[in-house]
A = this chain, B = another copy of it.
Amino acid sequence: MAELITPRVLKGFRDFLPEAEIERKLLIEMVEATFRSFGFVPIDTPALEYTEILLGKGGGETDKQVYRFADGGGRDVALRFDLTIPFARFMAEHRNELYLPFKRYHIAKVWRGENTQRGRYREFTQCDFDIVGADTAECDYEILALMRSALTAIGVGGFSIRYSHRGIFNRFLANLGIADKSVDVLRLVDKLAKIGRDEVLAQLGTLTNSEKALSILEYIEPGKSDRETLAKLERLAGGPAPDTERLSSLISMMEETGIAPSFVLDPSITRGLDYYTGVVYETFLTEIPAIGSVCSGGRYNNLASLYTKEELPGVGASIGLDRLLAGLEALGKSKKKGSFTTVLITAIDQSLSGHYQNLARRMREAGLAVEVFPDKKKLPQQFAYAEKKGIPFALICGENEKNAGKVTLKNLATRESLEMIDLETAIASAGKP
């Protein structure tokens, strides 16, 4: 016999056993149902692309994390590391086959050779949704309302979607005469929660001067209400402009539809990336804000500039599925189950195999998920199997039951049995899944 190969996965990669995979699938199905109810359509793109497409003609910090190699035909290829760049390429390539505004969602795996010591995975699922081809308050509103509906559907408890506007912030920095330092300022502001107000103030002071540092802190402090905050931003940025009017329209729509309580205008939300140009947002769970934002995104003014001259403004967000699963787990709100099965038909008499399958068929036709135990094992072992799969009911049928046209249904949690009942009664008692 040949030497055995040790079964193992690569560092940073994961198997999903049924319980974890069911939980993940149910979460994705809930999110996807929300996307569809808002008119978003799914797309898919290849896992593997030309490296030039994914990294551009130059290169950058991300490059080191990318799984990149030469394929059998000598092409320089790489595994996608996000869904944004493939989407940009997709829009540029298929622009003439599509319509605008284009509202798409894409839920798929991405790969990054990250340092796994920080608890990061090298393979994970991203869940992105965007509206491309229009720059209106209605689009901004729709993404935010969709985030709220999806998180509500998931049942993750209280959450706060904190939003801001990068355009107003840039105008404010220009007003202070430090537009050229925006990257450094953004990086420091992003650290507020981590290093604290005083340290940020000190470092901002070194970067600019103490007066401007105080002004920046004044800017990023949320007010008592979104309207009050907006008035302050408008003042500090040098007066009203389309960017502040955009936020005002957005707030009006949130107020009119009654969803405003889920949102906070928080100018400290800036999103590090240069990519964003308009509204930006992050979402925190009320009970466990420390796990970080579970849904983030913003508006950008040009999605696909690397591949096309057509300007494609858009707005979108990404749901952090792994963080949401961790959040649900921490909150004791995980929907864990070992299977979808409601009834296990036990096999106690091999001569009745066909009868068991007939019972299963009739129960499935009534909408129940049913399985027949397919091996020769003693009843306690069949019950143990049901327990491991989280199956709530067992159906027992011997020669006597069969001859009488009856079955026995056992509730495996309460250990109570309904003996010698009609199949219809058993179906009604087990209920629809």
Contact = CB atoms under 8 A, between A and B. Distances in A.
Interface of A: 2-11, 13-18, 21-22, 24-25, 36-39, 41-50, 52-53, 56-57, 64-65, 67, 69-73, 75, 77, 79, 89-90, 92-94, 97-101, 103-104, 109, 111, 113, 123, 131, 133-134, 136-139, 141-142, 145, 149, 249, 252-253, 255-257, 304, 306-309, 338-341, 344, 347, 353-355, 357-358, 361, 364, 368-372, 374-376, 384-385, 388-389, 391
B138 A46 contact: no
B47 A93 contact: no
Contacts of A2: 57, 306
A304 to B, nearest CB: 8
A104 B22 CA distance: 12
Given A7-B89, A48-B123, A113-B71, A353 B137 contact: yes
A-B interface, 6 closest residue pairs, ranked by CB to CB distance from nearest: A39-B371, A256-B354, A69-B69, A18-B41, A13-B46, A134-B375
A49 B10 contact: yes
Contacts of A100: 375
A17 B42 CA distance: 8
Number of copies: 2
B307 A37 contact: no
User: Of residues A44, A131, A304, A308, which shows the largest number of chain B Cβ atoms within 10 Å of its Cβ?
Assistant: A44
Contacts of A15: 43-46, 90, 93-94
A215 B368 CA distance: 48
8 contacts: A5-B56, A7-B53, A7-B90, A7-B93, A37-B370, A41-B389, A131-B374, A256-B354
B136 A376 contact: yes
A21 B42 contact: yes
A306 B70 CA distance: 29
A430 to B, nearest CB: 13
A126 B164 CA distance: 43
Contacts of A92: 7
